[in-house]
């Protein structure tokens, strides 16, 4: 497959020499290991308190220590999201929690609430404090305020443009972290209360029910003196009573129309890596602590390749079409470039039924490979059987397609399918594979 030349939308002049950090999500310990194996320089996780993904698996302190030990082997860092907006009852115990994070080897906490920022700076000076995107920081003077408070990094609000980032970097010498891939919030940097009203789950304390993704019917109330019932309907006592009670409503959709939704398209900046680097973004953040292992590995792998390719030879950098293909295999929704170049409008929201762009499942994990026989040991992650079309890919450049041939269990018994979760099977592969390569199949 050929290559595509990269057309830069943003005409920044920054000549960057240092490589930006690739920061990946990790909803649990296994995802942390995949993120690091597939190229993340750092991962961000959630503890069992004070985070905005209360439905993720999240980490105990023991798991954090294991995750830090694993990441350190690969030169990676572990950050913890401590980004709730705290109520009075949330503050009790925060000092002990932060000290436990530091003792577990955590590099930094990502914080939104100024009270937690203050406690962290005062009580655990060895633990870096990064300002969360939940603070909606968009201008250089606000960034300077947080630097003066002692923070080394600010995670900008997702509404920040590339032009605004350049202005910030011009005025303030501070690390800038920005989301470059993943879900976008229809509210302003996550400051939403729909979830609170609809389900009594506080989105700013970790309980968001994603009500913006729900499907809604829309109605218009009857105006005074108007009736949307016919004379024939008025003879129906039930219809007439509804009208008299003032609950007569005009549906704004015809029967069979698509329901209304407020969900936004997902962010994807893989086609614009040079712009992000040249303008001075220090950390490229991928959203998705609730996403699958396949998503984390695929997205991190692609951004790793693109960043390394640009940094190796900026003048001759080209966008490879296979990177776009790979991203689409993990995409949950249609993609756009968020606020980086312009303000999203109606075309950047999903009003039709969502086009599920990810037609692949994580089918298996390579545990071992015997070069002499060409036999791989695969740990089953989703059902597959002989005849299925599959792909192998991995962090060391592995990528090829083949059909599943004969498969055996570890005792050498031939199988008609790999049905059992985490079952180890053996099969011949067309090309060499390595430990932690992934096998996927079309859904």
Q: Are residues 57 and 157 in the same domain?
A: yes
Cα first-last separation, the chain: 24
Same domain, 329 and 280: yes
Domain that includes residue 428, residue range = 360-442
Q: Burial level of 340, CB count in 10 A (0-12/13-18/19+)?
A: buried
DSSP 353-395: SP-----EEEEEEEEEEETTTTEEEEEESS-B-TT-EEEEE-T
Does residue 304 sit in the same domain as residue 406? Answer: no
Distance CA 318, CA 315 (A): 9
Phi, psi of 355 (to 5 degrees): -85, 105
Q: Reduce the DSSP state of residue 195 to 3 states and report it.
A: helix
| pLDDT above 90 as % of the chain | 62
Residue-wise pLDDT for 224-266, tens only, equals 555 555 556 556 665 555 555 445 566 667 777 777 777 788 8
Does some domain include residue 205?
no
**Is 121 in the same domain as 245?**
no
431: domain CATH number is 2.40.30.10
Claim to verify: residue 235 and residue 115 sit in the same structural domain: no
Report the CATH number that the domain containing residue 278 is assigned in CATH.
Answer: 3.20.20.380
* Other C-beta atoms lying within 10 Å of the C-beta of residue 396: 12
Q: How confident is the model at residue 355 (pLDDT cuts 50, 70, 90)?
A: low
Mean pLDDT of 330-352: 82
Assess whether 335 and 377 both reside in one domain: no
Which letter does DSSP use for residue 134 in this model? G
- Report which secondary-structure segment, H or E, holds 73: helix 61-73
Q: Are residues 97 and 229 in the same domain?
A: no
Examine the domain organization and report whether 390 and 275 are in the same domain.
no
Residue 28 clears pLDDT 90, i.e. is over it: yes
Q: Does residue 392 belong to any structural domain of this protein? A: yes
Q: Quick check: is 146 in a domain?
A: yes
pTM given for the model: 0.86
Domain for residue 302, yes or no?
yes
Domain presence at residue 258: no
What is the number of domains present in the chain?
3
36-81 pLDDT, tens digit per residue, is: 999 999 999 998 777 665 555 689 999 999 999 999 999 999 999 9
185 with 330, same domain: the answer is yes
**Domain match, 307 and 390 both:** no
437 in a structural domain: yes
243 plus 285 within the same structural domain? no
Report helix, strand or coil for 428.
strand
Long-range contacts of the stretch 204-209 (C-beta < 8 A, 24+):
204/52, 204/84, 204/85, 204/134, 205/52, 205/54, 205/84, 205/85, 205/87, 205/90, 206/51, 206/52, 206/53, 206/54, 206/55, 206/84, 207/54, 207/55, 208/52
Overall average pLDDT of the 207-218 stretch: 74
The C-alpha atoms of residue 155 and residue 117 are separated, in whole angstroms, by 14
Question: Are residues 296 and 421 located together in one domain of the fold?
Answer: no
């Amino acid at each position: 497959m050929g290559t595509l030349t990269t057309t830069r939308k943003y005409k920044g002049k920054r000549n960057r020499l240092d490589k930006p950090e690739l920061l990946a999500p990790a909803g649990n310990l296994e995802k942390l290991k995949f993120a690091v194996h597939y190229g993340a320089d750092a991962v961000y996780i959630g503890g069992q308190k004070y985070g905005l993904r209360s439905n993720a698996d999240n980490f105990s302190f023991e798991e954090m220590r294991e995750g830090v030990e694993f990441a350190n082997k690969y030169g990676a860092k572990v950050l913890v999201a401590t980004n709730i907006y705290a109520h009075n009852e949330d503050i009790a115990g925060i000092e002990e929690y932060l000290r436990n994070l530091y003792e577990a080897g955590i590099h930094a906490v990502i914080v939104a609430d100024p009270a937690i920022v203050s406690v962290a700076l005062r009580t655990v000076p060895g633990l870096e404090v990064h300002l969360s995107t939940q603070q909606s920081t968009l201008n250089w003077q606000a960034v300077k305020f947080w630097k003066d408070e002692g923070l080394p990094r600010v995670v900008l609000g997702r509404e920040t443009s590339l032009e605004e980032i350049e202005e910030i970097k011009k005025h303030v010498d501070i690390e800038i972290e920005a989301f470059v891939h993943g879900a976008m919030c229809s509210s302003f940097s996550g400051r939403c209360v729909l979830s609170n009203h609809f389900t009594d789950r506080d989105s700013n304390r970790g309980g968001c029910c994603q009500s913006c993704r729900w499907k809604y019917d829309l109605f218009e109330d009857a105006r005074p003196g108007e009736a949307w019932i016919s004379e024939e309907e008025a003879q129906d006592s039930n219809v007439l009573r509804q009208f008299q009670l003032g609950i007569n409503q005009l549906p704004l959709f015809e029967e069979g129309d698509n329901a209304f939704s407020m969900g936004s398209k997902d962010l994807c900046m893989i086609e614009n890596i040079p712009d992000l680097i040249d303008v001075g973004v220090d950390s490229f953040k991928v959203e998705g602590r609730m996403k699958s292992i396949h998503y984390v590995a695929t997205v991190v792998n692609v951004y790793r390749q693109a960043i390394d390719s640009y940094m190796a030879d900026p003048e001759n950098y080209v966008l490879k079409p296979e990177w776009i293909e790979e991203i689409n295999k993990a995409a949950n929704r249609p993609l756009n470039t968020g606020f980086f170049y312009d303000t999203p409008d109606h075309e950047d929201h999903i009003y039709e039924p969502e086009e599920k762009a990810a037609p692949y499942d994580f089918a298996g994990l390579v545990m071992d490979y015997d070069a002499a026989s060409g036999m791989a040991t695969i740990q089953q992650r989703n059902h597959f059987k002989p005849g299925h079309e599959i792909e192998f890919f991995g962090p060391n450049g592995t990528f090829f397609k083949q059909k599943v041939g004969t498969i055996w269990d570890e005792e050498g018994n031939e199988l008609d399918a790999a049905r059992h979760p985490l079952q180890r099977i053996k099969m011949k592969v067309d090309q060499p594979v390595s430990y932690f390569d992934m096998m996927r199949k079309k859904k």
